[in-house]
């Protein structure tokens, strides 16, 4: 088992300020990270619990059903992950109205089983047939209750990246600085020539997800790991003495030495990865003014805000992306949380299987994600305050369908960074 985070690097490079409730959540995530370091293969199931803990506490039958489904169906062919969310009809793209019993027992939630492809009942073996519900013991009610199951198809999604052939003289993507929602281009030092095409396997566009600042003023940014690493070729570590270069302002480039990145290795366990990286932003690319969406509250989404968003049916948030010279919102509905999300991903002309750990499943309500959006921040809109909070980082989408997936920001920034004794604040 490999873990790519250096505690000494973290202590040296980042700074704190989070509400006490967030720190309590971070402590739970921290315990998860320690289990990962010790090599527990069950860590991916446990990582979901801090985020889902609020609903599990209120509806213990939901916890019982979640754990039962994980045990019972873990080995069925084509299973991509188990999650929690409202029951949804994919054919008409609409939620199923919960019964009063469902609201009382499960808080309108269902246990969601994500499969590569739904098959007719006649083609499924009896041992792998998934019923419409299961019966579990409800500790609160003191009786056996019925919990709904919902099967969702995943298909073969794609990493939201851009590997099209570019020329070094072409206009660089982005606004000349690294900021949330801004696109940038990444290549390998020496890959770009004064003229002519660049090798598409060594040149990619991505999007900044967040800016955080350490106490000495140095700014770091997040983006998807596959912007900097060729994950489709099983490249999970920053190569020693490599120099990634970031393109900005036409044909200008600035180097990012291998020591700029955290983690150096994106593997959480021997068979799972976190598709996110933190990197030091060169001073020439640090924005000079507020780079966040209007009304951003400079904090991560809380468990209460996530639960409220998942109870709503329409637009609950947005992905902050660059379109042309401006940044725009792709409205989303936060559909569900998925633990141990394992799926085949379309990589150019082949499929490669990944386990992405704990992720958010998003339904797009307006617009669509596209190549180059990898790493874009996902925000929840808060009806109570009129502001927005940071939920995660977009990295995967299903072409032709209004669905996308995001890394959990709390698991990455607090669980794998802040809770290891490191504090940070969001940059202005």
For the stretch 112-158, pLDDT in tens is: 999 998 888 788 888 788 888 899 988 887 888 888 999 999 988 88
The C-alpha atoms of residue 174 and residue 327 are separated, in whole angstroms, by 10
pLDDT average, residue stretch 302-317: 87
pLDDT of residue 164: 47
Considering the chain, what percentage of its residues have pLDDT values greater than 70? Answer: 75
Alpha helices (H) in 253-393, listed in sequence order: 303-311
CATH of 293-426, one of 2.40.170.20, 2.60.370.10, 3.40.50.2020, 2.40.10.10: 2.40.10.10
Average pLDDT over residues 403-415: 89
- Report pLDDT for 15: 34
What number is the average pLDDT over the span 395-419? 82
Contact by Cβ (8 Å): 1, 408: no
Helices (H), 294-408: 303-311
Mean pLDDT, all residues of the chain: 77
Please give the model's pTM, rounded to 2 decimal places.
0.82
Residue 416 confidence (pLDDT): 63
Does residue 178 contact residue 227 with C-beta atoms inside 8 Å?
no
Q: What kind and span of H or E run contains 33?
A: helix 20-37
Is the pLDDT higher at 152 or at 43?
152
Task: Please report which confidence band the pLDDT of residue 211 belongs to, taking 50, 70 and 90 as the band edges.
Answer: very high
What pLDDT does 353 receive? 92
CB 105 within 8 A of CB 146: yes
Average confidence (pLDDT) over 46-74: 77
Q: How confident is the model at residue 27 (pLDDT cuts 50, 70, 90)?
A: very low
- Distance CA(329)–CA(42), nearest Å, equals 36
Q: Would you say residue 17 has pLDDT above 50?
A: no
Residues 277-298 have a mean pLDDT of: 87
Burial profile 49-77: b = 16 or more Cβ within 10 angstroms, e = fewer: bbbbebbbeebbbbbbbbbbbbeebeeee
Residue scoring higher pLDDT (73 or 54): 73
**Domain-wise residue ranges, the chain:** 44-153, 158-285, 293-426
- Work out the pLDDT band at 333, boundaries 50, 70, 90: very high
What are the tens digits of pLDDT across the range 62-101?
Answer: 889 999 998 888 888 889 999 998 888 888 788 888 777 7
CA gap 418, 224 in Å, rounded: 19
- All residues at 6 or more sequence positions from 65 whose CB lies less than 8 Å from its CB, including other chains: 106, 111, 134, 136, 147
Following DSSP, what letter does each residue of 201-224 receive, concatenated?
GGEEEEE--EEEE-TTS-EEEEE-
In 122-209, DSSP assigns E strands to 133-138, 143-153, 158-159, 183-188, 203-207
pLDDT digits (tens, 9 = 90+) for 153-196: 998 888 866 554 444 444 445 557 889 999 888 876 654 444 44
Query: What does the block give as tokens for 69?
Result: 């489904």
pLDDT in tens, 261-276: 888 888 888 889 999 9
pLDDT the model gives residue 249: 61
């Amino acid at each position: 088992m490999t873990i790519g985070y250096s505690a000494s690097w973290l202590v040296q490079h980042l700074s704190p300020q989070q509400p006490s409730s967030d720190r309590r959540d971070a402590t739970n995530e921290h315990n998860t990270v320690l289990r990962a370091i010790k090599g527990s293969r069950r860590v991916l199931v446990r990582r979901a619990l801090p985020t889902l803990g609020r609903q599990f506490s209120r509806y213990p039958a939901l916890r019982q059903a979640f754990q039962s489904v994980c045990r019972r169906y873990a080995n069925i062919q084509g299973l991509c992950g188990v999650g929690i969310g409202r029951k949804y009809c994919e054919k008409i793209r609409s939620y199923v109205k919960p019964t009063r019993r469902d609201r009382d027992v499960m808080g309108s939630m269902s246990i969601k089983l994500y499969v590569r492809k739904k098959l007719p009942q006649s083609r499924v073996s009896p041992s792998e047939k998934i019923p419409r519900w299961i019966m579990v013991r409800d500790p609160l009610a003191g009786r056996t209750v019925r919990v709904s199951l919902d099967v969702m198809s995943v298909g073969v999604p794609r990493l939201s990246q851009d590997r099209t052939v570019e020329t070094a003289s072409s206009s660089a993507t982005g606004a000349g600085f690294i900021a949330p929602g801004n696109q940038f281009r990444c290549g390998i030092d020496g890959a770009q020539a004064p003229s002519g095409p660049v090798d598409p396997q060594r040149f990619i566009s991505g999007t900044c997800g967040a800016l955080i600042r350490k106490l000495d003023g140095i700014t770091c940014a997040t983006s998807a790991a596959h912007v900097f690493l060729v994950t489709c070729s099983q490249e999970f570590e920053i190569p020693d003495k490599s120099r990634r270069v970031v393109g900005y302002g036409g044909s200008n480039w600035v180097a990012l030495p291998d020591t700029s990145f955290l983690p150096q290795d994106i593997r959480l366990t021997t068979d799972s990865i976190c598709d996110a990286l933190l990197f030091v932003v060169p001073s020439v690319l640090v924005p000079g003014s507020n780079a966040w969406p209007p009304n951003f509250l400079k904090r991560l989404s809380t468990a209460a805000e996530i639960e409220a968003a998942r109870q709503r049916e329409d637009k609950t948030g947005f992905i902050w992306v660059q379109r042309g010279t401006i940044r725009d919102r792709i409205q989303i509905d936060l559909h569900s949380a998925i633990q141990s999300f394992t799926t085949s991903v379309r990589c150019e002309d082949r499929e490669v299987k990944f386990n992405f750990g704990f992720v958010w499943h998003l339904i797009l309500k307006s617009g669509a994600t596209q190549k180059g959006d990898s790493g874009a921040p996902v925000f929840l809109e808060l009806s109570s305050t009129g502001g927005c909070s940071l939920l995660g980082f977009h990295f995967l989408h299903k072409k032709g369908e209004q669905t996308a997936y995001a890394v959990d920001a709390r698991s990455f920034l607090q669980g794998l960074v802040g809770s290891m004794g490191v504090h940070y604040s969001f940059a202005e």
